[in-house]
Structure 1
Amino acid sequence: RTPICLDESVVSARSAADAIAMGACSVVNIKPGRVGGYLEARRIHDVCAANGVPVWCGGMLETGLGRAANVALAALPGFTLPGDTSASDRYYRTDITEPFVLENGHLTVPRGPGIGISPVPGQLAEVTTGSPEWIGR
């Protein structure tokens, strides 16, 4: 009766579908970086949602840029379990974006263009160690 959550073994929508079909899990953790990005993360979400398998979003150590994308992913309807994405200050004294702050245990999904948030130029400059120059042909 204990729910089994698969994490590292789910690397694609196909592996999620296979695990669900063989009854290997009742919950799936989706880490976008592990599955190859947000498009595949969305596919896994969709497979799980179609099969009534709840998902949660993993990703603790991303900067504000990755955190913004993870929060948007976790706002999809199949993400019914709490994830491990938290406030910026839990992991960083200063992030490269405006900080994410918990409000009643929740993070607000950024509403700006693209991923909803941009780096703060001065904060990004402080942690930039190099900037390669690309010469086009």
Structure 2
Amino acid sequence: IEGMAQVKAKVRIPLCTNMCVVRFEDFAPAMRLNAVDVIHGDVYKWGGIAATKALAAHCETFGLGMNLHSGGELGIATAAHLAVVSSTPVLSRAIDSMYYLHADDIIEPLHLENGRLRVPSGPGLGVSVDEDRLRHYAGVNERDGDLTG
């Protein structure tokens, strides 16, 4: 956090992080040192949808921007990110979605229109899961570790 504060004091561009503000306990030191402008949240790293929405509330309270990290998740995780983004006004910046695994864990692919992923309209997260593919990826993860490397 101290290093981010030193950089922020010397540059005019907004600084975003998903490396030094990674827990709610990191907010106070980051705010005290004026270290960041944007928090790069993550549904699975911050503890789920409710925790990520709580993170967004913290960002809004402290006047920080927020966007979502997306480092190669499956389609179901992308759908979870879209659910958070579409229901959280403070998330006004682009989602960092790479869609690495081409989402073959969901039955119907997510739709990209004009550079934007459309929020799926089905119940829950809006997608139907291919449970065989999900079991496959769970096995790969158990054997090889984090799929996103």
TM-score, L = length of structure 1: 0.77
- Which residue identity is paired with 1:110? P
| Equivalent residue in structure 2 for 1:80, among 92, 109, 113 | 92
Query: Counterpart of 2:132?
Result: 125
Query: Counterpart of 1:115?
Result: 125
Query: Counterpart of 2:67?
Result: 56
Indicate conservation of the 8 Å contact 1:17/1:48, yes or no.
no
For structure 2, the residue ranges without an aligned partner over 5 or more in a row are 1-11, 140-149
Deviations 1:62-85 (A, max 9, x none): 111111001111221111111211
Q: Secondary structure of 1:55's match? A: strand
For structure 1, the residue ranges without an aligned partner over 5 or more in a row are 132-137
Q: Does 1:13 align with 2:24?
A: yes
Query: Counterpart of 1:135?
Result: none
Identity of aligned residues (%): 29
Q: Tell me by how many angstroms 1:107 deviates.
A: 1.0
- Which residue identity is paired with 2:135? T
Tell me whether 91-100 or 43-52 shows the greater mean CA deviation.
91-100
Q: Secondary structure of 2:19's match? A: coil
Change in Cα spacing, 1:65 to 1:3, as seen in structure 2 (3 Å) is same
Matched pairs, number: 125
TM-score, L = length of structure 2: 0.71
Q: Does 1:100 align with 2:114?
A: no
* Partners of 1:94 and 1:35 in 2: CA distance: 22
* Partners of 1:114 and 1:127 in 2: CA distance: 17
Q: CA RMSD in A?
A: 2.4
